[in-house]
Amino acid sequence: MPDRILSCSAALAEALNEEMTRDPSVFIIGEDIKAHAGIFGQFKGIPEKFPDRIIDTPISESAIAGVGLGAALTGLRPVVDLHFSDFVTCCMDELVNQTAKIRFMLGGQVRVPLVVWCPDGAGLRAAAQHSQSLEAWFVHTPGLKVVVPSEPVDVKGLIKAAIRDDDPVMFFQHKKLFAKEGPVPRGDYVIELGQAAVKRPGTDVTLIGYGSGYYLCREAAQQLSEMDIDAEVIDLRTLKPLDMQTVADSVKVTRRAVIVHEACRTGGFGAELAARIQEELFDYLAAPVKRVAARDVPMPFSPPLEDFVLPKVADVVAAVREVINRKERARGGSKSR
């Protein structure tokens, strides 16, 4: 059957429905799920179909995450709904001291098949405590896997892989992307964790993004094509494990890289990736790796100020033009794959 056009929200609901049908050990736990089917419609139809496998909780993220961990240790596969990614601050001990470490501290005698679902990102005028992008915190925590899908097809394929994984997965989904639509395969479609996707081939510069950053890359690549600059666009999809091979294959051809994410610049995932590129691919680079990110301030509530803080397509285009115009330096590298 041909792919259908679904929103990111509908793709998530469909994948969860299929996984709960396939595996009776999968359940969802969080706040107000039965009453509202998720604040972004991401659980539509699930409470009615699986009323005994939806657990509504008090407003206590530490309790929600703790129950999720305990259930995972008994062999169940919980999906923990944290409502907003900002609320991970209320359960950091459960996530980074317990969930991330317990399999290692028990010598691999247990599995922790837990998914922590975290809607993140800005652009909805939700102010500083409901607009953060915190994925870098968890990339920095050994024992956790980190997934950040962008398109509906990736949402479906990656949430299925995350639920089936025997390690804890932090699943970040940008709030502003829930309405984004795209083709989604029918049936049991799974994307292996740790596989980036080249979503636009190019030869002049590599644009690397994830989540909302991917869309900035995609739009920038279109504008750059009108300037006769051929940009390759990579959607990382998974930050940990990281598909460094796909990044390397691209940079060896283009010899330039621009990394784009919505999280603030300092200490963001772009810094880690830029370091990896310059450590492993320095001899191929014709220009320094550039980062495009949000400014290092708490996210403002004021719409004009929020727009000012967030990265824009124009910022990506400017970064590319800077690395393209930089004087070529002979580093050896090849222009053919």
Cite the active site residues: 130
Contact 46, 37 (CB under 8 A): yes
Nearest-angstrom CA–CA distance, 247 and 234: 8
212-225 helix and 313-325 helix, angle to the nearest 10 degrees: 60
Q: What is the length of the chain?
A: 337
Residue 109 contacts by C-beta under 8 Å, 6 or more apart in sequence?
Answer: none
Among the listed residues 209, 198, 202, 174, the one whose alpha carbon sits nearest the alpha carbon of residue 313: 209
Strands 145-147 and 238-240 come out as antiparallel
Contact 138, 226 (CB under 8 A): no
160: three-class secondary structure by DSSP: helix
In the numeric block, the tokens 């990110």 are attached to 293
Burial 121-134 (b: 16+ CB within 10 A, else e): bbbeebeeebbbbe
